[in-house]
Structures are given as structure tokens and as C-alpha cells.
A and B are shown apart, each in its own frame.
Chain A
């Protein structure tokens, strides 16, 4: 099956802990993204990677750090989570930037910070 896969589906943690989310795409794309969807369903871009290179960083707090081992994987680490980090984190992928390519989204990881 070709798609965008995310793990875990859900994660509950306490303020100050570190969390990591994983994303893998089997679509053969070379560009991957992290979006944050808050409790009001607002979707905002966080990061974009093209061939393991960070190309977009949209004013995200420094406790967030993306990590890419190859063009099919893009993980997200959050050091010392805050209550406002509670959200759904959506990973997406597409062909190379600059050509308005369709983005394919994973099902998301729901983070709850207590």
C-alpha cells in the first residue's frame, strides 16, 4: 500500500516531557511537511523538507525539531512540551516544491498535554 503513515495515533503526556512522532511515506515523493491542527481545526504549516534538507521553518518554537533520515521519513521531536502543544500533528508529502504538487496527508498524531 502506498500512502503516508504516522505513529503513534495518540499520545498523552505531561508538561515538560519530551515526545517524538514518526512519519513515513511510500509514495516516492521527495518533499515532506509537518502541519499542526489545533482544537479549532486551524491548520498551519510548521516545517518542510526536500531531500532531507530543511526548506521551510514557519516561526515554530525552538522546542520543536524535525529530523529526516532519508526522503521517505520525517520525524518530529518536541522537547519539554507545553499545554499549547496539544493538537493533531499532520505529516504530508508531495513531489518537489515549486510545482504546486498535490500534498498527501497522513491520518495525524493527536497529542494531549496534561
Chain B
């Protein structure tokens, strides 16, 4: 069973719009999360991490964590065509820094 579940599977937003991605962990051993983005033909690149309850903002990207429900979300405001990519939520196993990835959300930003 996958330790991290992501939704939606795919998402399409207009340029300038808001994209919202969701992630839930089924394992309470996970308390630290990353969001990674993967463009076609490239390896994933880290966007941001979160481990405290509440919001964390970095530029156009805002991550939110609810530790009680182990729910993580990523919101992208003013979406750009260059944001079109595969987005992964990943939970971290602390002792070994291993990433357990969700199934990904394919984001398409339409000009």
C-alpha cells in the first residue's frame, strides 16, 4: 500500500489562475514533507519542504500542513505555462532521509 496519496491525478488551470494540489500520508511516522516538481525529460527538483503546522510561503508557492490529519497541500498562485509539470508530494523517513513519493499530479497551465 502506498504510504502517500496524492490528488488530483491531473489538473488544468488557466494562466494566472490558482492551482491546488493535495497529499495525505497514512503513516504517522512521517512528520516532514517535500514538494518536488518534474518537467518532462528531467529529474525531480525540490520546490519546498514543510514540517510545522500551518502555511509556508515561498514566492508564488504556498504549502500547508495539518499534522493532525497528515494532510499537505500546495497552492500555486498566478500560474504560468512554465509551471506545467508533474508535481510530487514526498514524505521523509527521518533516520535515512529517504523520500516516499506520492503518485503525482500532472499540472497543465493553459495560455
* Contact segment of A59-67, A70-78, A79-87, A97-105: A97-105
User: Which positions in B face A, CB cutoff 8 Å?
Assistant: 32, 34, 41-46, 49, 51, 86, 88, 92, 94-101, 103-104
Q: Would you call B96 and A55 a contact (CB within 8 A)?
A: yes
How long is the Cα–Cα vector from A101 to B94 in the complex, in angstroms? Answer: 10
Per-residue B-contact encoding for A20-47, CB less than 8 Å = 1, 0 else = 0000000000010101000011111100
Q: A42-B103, A45-B99 are in contact. Are A100 and B43 (CB under 8 A)?
A: no
- 13 A-B contacts, Cβ less than 8 Å apart? A41-B104, A42-B103, A43-B88, A43-B101, A48-B96, A56-B96, A90-B43, A92-B43, A97-B97, A100-B32, A101-B97, A107-B42, A107-B43
Q: A41-B86, A100-B92 are in contact. Are A106 and B43 (CB under 8 A)?
A: yes
For residue B40, give the distance in angstroms from its CB to the closest CB of chain A. Answer: 10
Q: A45-B100, A55-B96 are in contact. Are A103 and B46 (CB under 8 A)?
A: yes
| Chain B neighbourhood of A96, CB < 8 A | 97
Q: A43-B101, A55-B96, A97-B95 are in contact. Are A102 and B46 (CB under 8 A)?
A: yes
| Chain A neighbourhood of B96, CB < 8 A | 48, 55-56, 97-98
Q: Would you call B101 and A102 a contact (CB within 8 A)?
A: no
For residue B95, give the distance in angstroms from its CB to the closest CB of chain A. Answer: 6
Contact of A31 among B45, B92, B97, B103 (CB under 8 A): B97
| Chain A neighbourhood of B94, CB < 8 A | 98, 100
Known: A98-B94, A99-B97, A100-B94. 9 other contacts (CB 8 A): A42-B104, A56-B96, A90-B43, A92-B43, A97-B95, A98-B95, A100-B92, A107-B42, A107-B43
| Chain A neighbourhood of B34, CB < 8 A | 102
Contact of A102 among B42, B49, B98 (CB under 8 A): B49
Q: Would you call A44 and B101 a contact (CB within 8 A)?
A: yes
Q: Would you call A105 and B98 a contact (CB within 8 A)?
A: no
How long is the Cα–Cα vector from A48 to B92 in the complex, in angstroms? Answer: 13
Q: Would you call A105 and B101 a contact (CB within 8 A)?
A: no
| Chain B neighbourhood of A103, CB < 8 A | 46, 97, 99
Q: Would you call B45 and A105 a contact (CB within 8 A)?
A: yes
